[in-house]
Structure 1
Amino acid sequence: MDIGHRNNVTVTGNPEGRTVVLAHGFGCDQNMWRLTVPALAEEYQVVLFDYVGAGRSDLSAFSEARYSSLEGYAQDVEEICEALDLRDAVFVGHSVSAMIGVLAAARVPERIGALVMVAPSPRYIDDAGYHGGFSAEDIDELLASLDSNYLGWSAAMAPVIMGNAERPELGEELVTSFCATDPEMASVFARTTFLSDSRAELKSVQVPTLVLESSQDAIAPREVGAFVHQAIPGSALVTLEATGHCPHLSAPEATNQAITTFLDGLR
């Protein structure tokens, strides 16, 4: 299979520089990184892609069996890294992709040498001694609403996810991105995302890791950022002066500065 076609892989930036892989979250595609790429492209080779079922990926490659687990998405990352023969790349994952990056780094440690986790959450549902931000009933209702009226769900949820009510164009962009995703494939990815529990995998991370959180995030509250930071030995935690779950869109300068500072420290 042509992995480049399957995942709509794009390679840009400096071919002599270290490779940075940018991975989008649920309901998004690689276009969501357009404000980050220019900050990296001069010094780093940048790889972007769409998970199968998102963006301009090959929808015929979608398999509910494979993508009902985060491991299926991590396998996408592994196969992209192998197809490009990446070594010691920095994986930047937004939201659920942060956890996909953890899984991928464990699968191919020689190919992923550092992680940047943007608004990560290893578990969205509250648990004993853990605040994920949602009750089990909240998630059940969210998924039922998504299944019954995906377009309506998208219009209602995107502004909540994005935050920044005073900048409605950001929420509208996310609505457009959600609505461009096949509803059945989005439903599979949503269940995989919101019902996942990757807390146990965090302690296995052995590479330099940056955890980026927004100061206000309805999807991944700051308690989650603190949990991820504490669970990953030697990780760094940066709280951005940003609102919402997509700081790379709502506060790109602060997000890019944090990422490039981390990358500079890896040299």
Structure 2
Amino acid sequence: MDIRRRNNVHVVGRADAPVLLLAHGFGCDQNMWRLVVPALAERYRVVLFDYVGSGGSDLSAWSEERYASLDGYARDVVDVCEELDLRQAVFVGHSVSAMVGVLAARDAPERIGTLVMVTPSPCYIDDEGYRGGFSAEDIEELLGSLESNYLGWSSAMAPVIMGNPDRPELGQELTNSFCATDPDIARVFARTTFLTDSRKDLGSVSVPTLVLECGQDAIAPREVGAYVHAAIPSSRLVTLGATGHCPQLSAPEATAGAILDFLGSPR
């Protein structure tokens, strides 16, 4: 199988530099990274890709069985790493992809040497002693609305996820991205995203890790960032002076700057 075509892989930046592998979240594609790529590519080799079912990926390679769990997305990450022979890469995962990176690093430790988790959440549902931001009823209502009217759900939820109501163009971009996703694929990815509880997997992380959160985020409140940071002893928590769940779009300079500050100068 041609992994580069299947996952719409693109490589930019310095050919002789360490690798950053950028992974998008639910309803998005690699285009969501475009505003941070120029700054990152000045110092690093940057690998962009789409999960199967998203963006410019080969939709014929998608199957509900594989992508009904985060393991299927982690397999995509490992496949891309193996295809490009990446070793000790920096995995930058947005939203649900932060947890995909945890699984990929566990499954292929020689491939991923550092994690950058951008607005991560290991579990969206509140539990005893844990605030994920939603009740179980909230999530079932959210998923029911998505499945009954995906385009309507996208138009209503994307601006909430994006935040920054004073910059409506950002919410519109996320709406357009959601609406470009096949509804059947989106339904499966949404259930995988919002119903998975990956809290137990955080204990497997032993690589240097940056946890990036926003000051205000309707999807991943700051209690979640604190939880992830506490669960990963090798992590650093940075709170961006930004709002919303997608700081790579709403605050690209701050996002790229935090990543570069954490990584330091390439050797």
The Cα offsets for residues 244-264 of structure 1, whole Å up to 9 and x where unpaired, read as 000111011111110000111
CA contact (8 A) 2:17 2:266 kept: no
Partners in 1 of 2:34 and 2:265 — Cα distance?
23
Corresponding residue number in structure 1 for 2:156 = 156
Question: SS in structure 1 opposite 2:204?
Answer: coil
Corresponding residue number in structure 2 for 1:63 = 63
Aligned AA (1:43): R
Corresponding residue number in structure 1 for 2:26 = 26
Corresponding residue number in structure 2 for 1:11 = 11
- The within-5 A match list for 1:129-168 is 129-168=129-168
The Cα offsets for residues 112-163 of structure 1, whole Å up to 9 and x where unpaired, read as 0000000000000001110000000000000000000000000000000000
Deviation at 1:233, TM superposition (A): 1.0
Question: SS in structure 1 opposite 2:257?
Answer: helix
Corresponding residue number in structure 1 for 2:237 = 237
Question: SS in structure 2 opposite 1:203?
Answer: helix
Partners in 2 of 1:74 and 1:161 — Cα distance?
24
Corresponding residue number in structure 2 for 1:126 = 126
Question: SS in structure 2 opposite 1:114?
Answer: strand
The 1:265–1:106 alpha-carbon spacing in structure 2 relative to 1, beyond 3 Å, is: farther
Normalization by structure 1: what TM-score? 0.99
Corresponding residue number in structure 2 for 1:217 = 217
Deviation at 1:266, TM superposition (A): 7.3
Partners in 1 of 2:198 and 2:230 — Cα distance?
14
Aligned AA (2:101): G
Corresponding residue number in structure 1 for 2:107 = 107
Partners in 1 of 2:243 and 2:266 — Cα distance?
28
Percent sequence identity is 75
Partners in 2 of 1:10 and 1:134 — Cα distance?
36
Structure 2 alignment gaps of length 5 or more: none
Partners in 2 of 1:96 and 1:243 — Cα distance?
18
Partners in 2 of 1:197 and 1:39 — Cα distance?
33
Deviation at 1:40, TM superposition (A): 1.0
Deviant stretches of 4+, over 4 Å:
none
Deviation at 1:43, TM superposition (A): 1.5
Question: SS in structure 2 opposite 1:229?
Answer: helix
Corresponding residue number in structure 2 for 1:72 = 72
Corresponding residue number in structure 1 for 2:48 = 48
Partners in 2 of 1:127 and 1:199 — Cα distance?
11
The 1:266–1:224 alpha-carbon spacing in structure 2 relative to 1, beyond 3 Å, is: farther
Partners in 1 of 2:262 and 2:16 — Cα distance?
19
Corresponding residue number in structure 2 for 1:253 = 253
Normalization by structure 2: what TM-score? 0.99
The 1:169–1:124 alpha-carbon spacing in structure 2 relative to 1, beyond 3 Å, is: same
Partners in 2 of 1:242 and 1:120 — Cα distance?
15
How many residue pairs are counted as aligned between the two chains?
267
Aligned AA (1:111): R
The Cα offsets for residues 10-51 of structure 1, whole Å up to 9 and x where unpaired, read as 011101000000000000000000011101112110000000
Aligned AA (2:195): L
Partners in 2 of 1:98 and 1:170 — Cα distance?
22
